[in-house]
Amino acid sequence: MQTPQLAGKIALITGSTSGIGLGMARALAAEGATIIFNGFGDPTEIAELQRATGIEFGVRTGYSNADMTKPAEIEKMMNDAIDQFGGVDILVNNAGIQHVANVEDFPPERWDAVIAINLTSAFHTTRLALPAMKRKNWGRIINIASAHGLVGSAGKSAYVASKHGIVGLTKVTALENVQTGITCNAICPGWVLTPLVQKQVDARAAANHVSIDQAKRELLLEKQPSGEFVTPEQLGALAVFLCSAAASQVRGAAWNMDGGWVAQ
């Protein structure tokens, strides 16, 4: 049997107890990577997720409950990864939240939270992961941005600012390491039906007095001309490609997978 392509690699995925992050974790585990989960949730369910993932893919797993709004907790998570697993080879900055309101109505504390989780946490994890990656001269940093890292939408000032910001951080990180074995790229998904988007579907159904299915159709057709959701599995497959040797010259890209959203 062929050795899985990411055997021996340690992957830390922020916000991987749900949605896209979980899809990333499963795709990287399927290629043999050790997985360090992070994110919120019921401790028993998270322990079971770790156990089940380990058994399904025959990989080691770990977990950090670090809150991505808290730099001290991020630092502890990264230090624990070094102590327990020898460092992080694949860093997926995925944790993210949304808040929808026009600028003048946007609660300042929600602005701060969105920027902290979606953008600043990636600065901290990246700065703390790079020294060990440099020692090994190998690393993959994958930032989960969004179609909103490339174009805007009304009502999403903090989210769009954070996602444009992370595309900028991606380019600079890529360039600072451009002659090393460390690459940094962003993935820019369109709509993916995760808990983050389900909340927006529910809000739309309530506001427009339509069914959940109708709200999903409207949400998609407004932005995503394919009329279909992107899936966590498809995004996971792109992350696996970005970790491969074939992608070693993909550097500083903001790669959209969005059913045609930003092609319009």
Lay out the sheet containing 254-257: strands in order across: 61-64, 34-38, 10-13, 90-93, 139-144, 182-189, 254-257
Tell me whether residue 18 or residue 214 sits nearer to ligand NAD (CB atom).
18
C-alpha span between 119 and 244 (Å, rounded): 25
Residue located via tokens 């990864």 = 81
Q: Which stretch binds ligand NAD (CB under 6 A): 12-20, 27-35, 101-109, 173-181?
A: 12-20
- Catalytic residue among 63, 111, 159, 191, which? 159
Distance of alpha carbon 107 from the chain centroid: 24
Minimum separation from the CB atom of position 183 to ligand NAD (A)? 19
Q: Which of 35, 67, 184, 216 binds ligand NAD (CB under 6 A)?
A: 67
Q: Is 197 in the site for ligand NAD (CB under 6 A)?
A: yes
Number of CB atoms found within 10 A of residue 222's CB = 12
Select 104 or 109, whichever has its Cβ closest to ligand NAD: 109
Return the residue of 53, 120, 146, 173 that touches ligand NAD, per CB under 6 A: 146
Give the whole-angstrom CA distance, residue 13 versus residue 21: 6
Handedness of CA 48, 54, 57, 58 (dihedral sign): negative
Hey, which residues between 13 and 42 contact ligand NAD (CB under 6 A)? 15-21, 38-41
Q: How many residues bind ligand NAD (CB under 6 A)?
A: 29
Using CB under 6 A, which residues numbered 82 to 101 contact ligand NAD? 94-97
Q: Is 139 among the residues that bind ligand NAD (CB under 6 A)? A: no
Q: Contact between 236 and ligand NAD (CB under 6 A)?
A: no
Query: Does 250 sit near ligand NAD (CB under 6 A)?
Result: no
DSSP string of 160-177? HHHHHHHHHHHHHHHHHT
Q: How far apart are CA 153 and CA 219, in angstroms?
A: 12
- Give percent helix, percent strand, percent coil of the chain, each to the nearest 5: 55, 15, 30
Find the binding residues for ligand NAD in span 153-192 (CB under 6 A).
189, 191-192
CA distances from 5 to 103, 217, 233 (A): 46, 38, 18
> Which of these segments, 2-10, 26-34, 62-70, 167-175, binds ligand NAD (CB under 6 A)?
62-70
Considering only 61, 177, 185, 194, the residue that binds ligand NAD (CB under 6 A) is: 194
Stretch that binds ligand NAD, among 61-69, 103-111, 132-140, 246-254 (CB under 6 A): 61-69
What's the rounded Cα separation, in Å, for the pair 136 and 15? 26
Chain contacts with ligand NAD (rule: CB under 6 A): 15-21, 38-41, 67-69, 94-97, 117-118, 144, 146, 189, 191-192, 194-197
Catalytic residues: 159
